Structure 1
């Protein structure tokens, strides 16, 4: 039996405009010191919890991304944050960049239900790849976000929030993907239909690795690699990293699974992988050895990936629940996994939820 850690949220910070609790839609996790950073897929905020003496996490604080970045739709559209990473005093975050298909509503007529399934929409704030200065208080150890702050490593140099150039319907990344030979055919397909859907981000120096939940191509998942650079104050562009284009594609045979989260430790990358479609299915953690070595595109066959652990997922009466979405490293041997749509057994009281601790090393 795996261990669990309780995450405690403050009631007045935990409900979005539609009344959904933050614990019911956790989508990514990142542990920085004693701070656990989390995001919920239907908000424009990031949540910070702090490790308590008993090993649980509490002291909830919420940070509204609108205070740091110029969101296309302001606070009126979810960002669907699906990845976070940190390097050089910047917290990086990324939205799903995906389209949504409307769901049929049982009370509606058959005609209306069928019509809803033909309707596709986008959320303007989902097209976000950004960085926000994050500094650690030397006395309390707490990490805090800033719109602008002095770089503690370079006196007189300022750090400031910035985002990839874009608008309400696209950004530089999606414009590139619309021309890509593998991904272009999937750009107008909703994420839950195996369309373009980002879930996971990891940072290694100047390199940003982006995990794709979809598309999955004949069982092969993809990781994009980019290097954002500052174009002007507040704006990023993608640096050209090959002779042909400003990105690399890495292909991994996860036997039909898409990527839910990425984390880097040393030269290795840990992958949380699960179904790309909206269904219950096996979710597992893999290790991709020496993932960050070299500067070429890679094709990683299934027997070159180490399958470390299977993650619990909903089934039977709990179908559609306990969908593992976030993964962060606790130490060299353990990871913490957080879940979207937690089961009743995973929720505690009105505002707390249990995350799983899984072993990844001997």
Structure 2
């Protein structure tokens, strides 16, 4: 396979000035998200994932141990906020209130399962603006491992009413099933440690091009994990795994045809960007891509056609990829972090986008937060 072709760009007057020259897409509409409680302004300011299920939006922030549900009667205003404490559904190994760094959620409609994944990443300490030179260097030298970040599993709603009112759902949270945790580890990390390709990145912090899971999609019994890092000479990675439920309620990786690993890997030419989220669309995958490092840069949506039909690893180039949208982003604020299909009343689905580091333009403090809707080529 020739791997030098770039993703082909959809040539439409509404999104591109010249063939191959992108301009930023503009939202076609917005949703209002009304949060309540003590985290009403902190969690939605750092949203990392979103999923529409019937008349509800499920969203996750990357600095908590909760997942949030909002419901709507008009597909425009989302209220009746309930915050599910994941420590009641999973036996998390970290310290009390230690963040999960939840980065991906995906709905398995057939089995009534809401899949969740933490970043699985290490963290380098950030210097404070008023630090001395010595203190800044000291901070940058500290790398920490937070055990809760290794969550990979699902909430099982087959015996829990996800449509119930906020008080009832909070009182009776669904059961959770996950890969077993070790100290700063799980079965996925263990199998990646045997890889000559990925093992060198497991002990690097996420913002240093280390391992960082930020996207998730499910199809039948397969789970697709999109990596923000590492990006390998400009190529991003999607890991494809299958998880089976054991009799003790824990999950385990199903072996693949390859004896040396329990995952299938796909590498994609996304113009040097890492993966920030995934979304299944029929047999395709929509991919939100952005910079791996801490910087403002292109935020793009790609479509990988027939992605869910592959059983073997692929090098995916421009013949299978389309660059659909360039999304707007701000100066150190308003970074697109989560995408999902938004459907209402039988109309063509739109792309719903939520943001991390939300600015005043996305926040209406004391009232609501905004989420943007975009049209895109079908």
TM-score normalised according to structure 1 size: 0.89
Tell me if 1:341 matches 2:360: no
Are residues 246 and 77 of structure 1, via their aligned partners in 2, closer, same or farther at CA, if it must alter by over 3 Å?
same
Higher mean C-alpha deviation, range 24-33 or range 346-355: 346-355
Deviation at 1:348, TM superposition (A): 1.4
Tell me if 1:38 matches 2:50: no
Higher mean C-alpha deviation, range 134-143 or range 59-68: 134-143
Structure 2: segments with no counterpart, 5+ residues: 1-25
Contact map agreement 1:162 1:233 (CA 8 A) in 2: no
Are residues 231 and 353 of structure 1, via their aligned partners in 2, closer, same or farther at CA, if it must alter by over 3 Å?
same
Tell me if 1:21 matches 2:42: yes
**Which residue of the partner structure matches residue 154 of structure 1?**
none
Deviation at 1:90, TM superposition (A): 1.2
Deviation sequence 1:149-199 (CA, Å, 0-9, x none)? xxxxxxxxxxx5211012231111111112212111111111111110000
Choose the corresponding residue for 2:207, options 192, 212, 230. Answer: 192
**Which residue of the partner structure matches residue 322 of structure 1?**
334
- Partner Cα distance (1:6, 1:183) in 2: 39
Task: Classify the secondary structure of the residue corresponding to 1:232.
Answer: coil
- Partner Cα distance (2:34, 2:52) in 1: 16
**Number of aligned residues:** 343
Tell me if 1:169 matches 2:184: yes
**Which residue of the partner structure matches residue 256 of structure 1?**
272
Contact map agreement 2:31 2:373 (CA 8 A) in 1: no
- Partner Cα distance (1:328, 1:54) in 2: 14
Task: Classify the secondary structure of the residue corresponding to 2:256.
Answer: coil
TM-score normalised according to structure 2 size: 0.86
Choose the corresponding residue for 1:183, options 176, 183, 198. Answer: 198
CA-based RMSD: 2.1
Structure having greater relative contact order (Cα 8 Å, sep ≥ 6): 2
- Partner Cα distance (1:240, 1:76) in 2: 34
**Which residue of the partner structure matches residue 151 of structure 1?**
none
Contact map agreement 1:192 1:277 (CA 8 A) in 2: yes
**Which residue of the partner structure matches residue 152 of structure 1?**
none
- Correspondence 1:1-362 to 2 at 5 A: 1-14=26-39, 21-53=42-74, 55-73=76-94, 75-87=96-108, 88-135=111-158, 160-244=175-259, 245-314=261-330, 319-331=331-343, 332-362=348-378
Higher mean C-alpha deviation, range 47-56 or range 303-312: 47-56
